[in-house]
Amino acid sequence: MPRSSAVRFSHFLPSLLLLLAGLAAAYVKDLSVFFTSLFNVLPTLVLLLGGAYCAVYRRQRELFLMLTVYIAYFLLDTQTDFYRDNGKVREDAAVVFHLVCLLLPLLFGLFAAWQERTHLFQDMVARFAVLLAFGSVALGLEQSYPQALLLWLSEIRWPALHGAWMSLIQLSYPVFISAFLLLAWQYWRNPRPLHAAQLVGLLGVFWMLPKTFILPFTLNIMCSQVMLMIAAAVAHEAYQMAFRDELTGLPGRRALNERMQRLGRNYVLAMSDVDHFKKFNDTHGHDVGDQVLRLVASKLSKISGGGRAYRYGGEEFALVFAGKTLEECMPHLEVIRESIASYSIQLRNQENRPQDDQQGRQRRSGAGASAVSVTVSIGVAERVEQRTPEEVLKSADQALYSAKGAGRNCVMAFGQNRRGAVRMDAAAG
């Protein structure tokens, strides 16, 4: 998966929008009867729909994250309902609230970092056992030693670190910080929409807890939004699995088919293929072959002139230029072809691979590193009257075969003869 700033921002965008929407809704003072009723049932509705969605995709980590948030919501909602109806809090409100402030970030961080690596049923039993163990111990202590537990939870253990702004028990802050650092490290190692949603969701929980008894429906709104973040991340990743190629990060074949159905009257399609890729793969190995495909994809993704690159399959890539003519696109295709041909790939002995990036940069151009390069052939076709996108793509594929026959490492338009192919002089020689 590419790790550019734009991709990272797209991971966070849905969750950030949900967080901002939740913050805005929580500060609305006068709510209509409709929204009041909606917020009362929204957390349960989100859990049922989002939980079913996670169950269909067998995403147990996300399911237990949502379940953890909902249990916290249920416990605190009972307290806030009593407070709104009677004008005072229940006798056990303080100890229940403090327990939630401590256990919610703890379990949220635990389940968020707990990856699914075992059999699904065993994984579900293990997660449920952890949730049951924490819940049973907390319930037993709350029922048997409420006052002693309250004193232990609310004790200020580090006076020098306690500030007047802290509205939660002191113990909850190191738990929140630890959970946040754990999830930030997880996202840094493996940037995914789900990991981004977990980070933003934890921030939403951290903001929500101090406002639980202050702002009406804050609890309902933010718990719903956090569960929606998780469900939206599952949908985002499902979309990526279906429409984005995992190796190169480019949109895949299915995304190309959908894009072709929305093209206008004028467009240009191009097909690109890595020259002698099978021979290169057999000589240098599949790992280097994957590196080559990622390189070519990275170059093609930067195509100018309004083009968009797609992974068609194997070593083939498709380029779409909407609203363009053949004459407008040919210079941009030639630039990207030459950019790939002039790029040198440094091959190093894997057994003597440097241990860090600094050593790698020092050795990149040193002895022991052999440089290789790859080229691509490109066939391009323009839409003419009474032609479908599938027919244009087929014509571009035929032009690609013509480019291969012309000596490779060139750009050839459909119907163009070999002498008209655009390519480097060195390749022609």
pLDDT digits (tens, 9 = 90+) for 2-27: 446 777 888 899 999 999 999 998 88
- 131 and 16 in one domain? yes
Q: Identify the CATH number of the domain in which residue 290 sits.
A: 3.30.70.270
Structural domains counted in the chain: 2
The answer, yes or no, to whether residue 422 has pLDDT greater than 60, is no
Query: Do the domain assignments include residue 59?
Result: yes
Q: Which of 213, 243, 273 is the last residue of a domain?
A: 243
User: Which amino acid type is present at position 21?
Assistant: A
Partnered with residue 219 across adjacent β-strands are: none
- 235 and 258 in one domain? no
Q: Which of 221, 243, 265 is the last residue of a domain?
A: 243
The per-residue pLDDT for 129 is: 95
Q: Measuring CA to CA, which residue among 380, 308, 305, 293 is closest to residue 340?
A: 293
User: At 297, is the pLDDT very low, low, confident or very high (cuts 50, 70, 90)?
Assistant: very high
Question: Is the alpha carbon torsion for 43, 230, 51, 234 positive or negative?
Answer: positive
Q: Compare 387 and 357 and report the one with higher pLDDT.
A: 387
The per-residue pLDDT for 421 is: 53
Q: What average pLDDT does the segment 313-321 reach? A: 92
- 289 and 400 in one domain? yes
Tokens 């030693």 label which residue? 145
Query: Do the domain assignments include residue 292?
Result: yes
Query: Do the domain assignments include residue 67?
Result: yes
Alpha-carbon span 244 to 233, nearest angstrom: 15
Q: Measuring CA to CA, which residue among 192, 205, 204, 259 is closest to residue 232?
A: 192
The answer, yes or no, to whether residue 100 has pLDDT greater than 80, is yes
Mean pLDDT, the chain, integer: 86
Q: What average pLDDT does the segment 152-164 reach? A: 86
- 42 and 154 in one domain? yes
Query: DSSP class of residue 419?
Result: G
Query: Do the domain assignments include residue 418?
Result: no
> Is 54 exposed, middle or buried, given 0-12, 13-18 or 19+ CB atoms closer than 10 A?
buried
Domain containing residue 305 = 253-349+371-413
Query: Do the domain assignments include residue 392?
Result: yes
The answer, yes or no, to whether residue 366 has pLDDT greater than 60, is no
> Is 409 exposed, middle or buried, given 0-12, 13-18 or 19+ CB atoms closer than 10 A?
buried
- 3-state secondary structure (DSSP) of residue 311: strand
- 270 and 213 in one domain? no
The answer, yes or no, to whether residue 197 has pLDDT greater than 60, is yes
- 221 and 132 in one domain? yes
From 62, 315, 382, 385, active-site residue: 315
The answer, yes or no, to whether residue 193 has pLDDT greater than 60, is yes
Token pair of 401, please? 């075969």
DSSP 62-115: HHHHHHHHHHHHHHHHHHHHHHHHHSS--TTHHHHHHHHHHHHHHHHHHHHH--
Q: Compare 25 and 373 and report the one with higher pLDDT.
A: 25
User: From the CB of residue 172, how many other CB atoms can be counted at a distance below 10 Å?
Assistant: 21
The answer, yes or no, to whether residue 412 has pLDDT greater than 70, is yes
pLDDT in tens, 220-252: 999 999 999 999 999 888 888 778 888 888 888
User: At 196, is the pLDDT very low, low, confident or very high (cuts 50, 70, 90)?
Assistant: very high
Query: Do the domain assignments include residue 357?
Result: no
Q: What are phi and psi of 343, to 5 degrees?
A: -90, 130
The per-residue pLDDT for 335 is: 93
Q: What average pLDDT does the segment 51-62 reach? A: 86
Q: Is residue 315 flagged as an active site residue?
A: yes
Q: What average pLDDT does the segment 50-74 reach? A: 91
Q: What average pLDDT does the segment 21-41 reach? A: 84
The answer, yes or no, to whether residue 427 has pLDDT greater than 50, is no
- 84 and 17 in one domain? yes
User: At 331, is the pLDDT very low, low, confident or very high (cuts 50, 70, 90)?
Assistant: very high
Q: What average pLDDT does the segment 284-304 reach? A: 88
Q: What average pLDDT does the segment 95-122 reach? A: 90
Q: Which of 222, 243, 264 is the last residue of a domain?
A: 243
Q: What average pLDDT does the segment 183-198 reach? A: 94
- 309 and 263 in one domain? yes
**Exposure on the CB side of residue 343, measured as CA atoms within 13 A:** 18
Q: What average pLDDT does the segment 380-389 reach? A: 84
- 67 and 191 in one domain? yes
The answer, yes or no, to whether residue 336 has pLDDT greater than 90, is yes
The per-residue pLDDT for 385 is: 67
Residues 6+ away with beta carbon under 8 Å from 356:
none
Tokens 């802050």 label which residue? 173
Q: What are phi and psi of 320, to 5 degrees?
A: -120, 125
Query: Do the domain assignments include residue 358?
Result: no
Q: What percent of the chain stands above pLDDT 90?
A: 51
For the chain, the C-alpha Rg in angstroms (whole number) is 29
Query: Do the domain assignments include residue 187?
Result: yes
The answer, yes or no, to whether residue 353 has pLDDT greater than 50, is no
- 257 and 214 in one domain? no
Alpha-carbon span 171 to 366, nearest angstrom: 53
The answer, yes or no, to whether residue 198 has pLDDT greater than 60, is yes
Q: What average pLDDT does the segment 369-388 reach? A: 83
- 193 and 337 in one domain? no
The per-residue pLDDT for 378 is: 95
User: From the CB of residue 228, how many other CB atoms can be counted at a distance below 10 Å?
Assistant: 23
- 215 and 306 in one domain? no
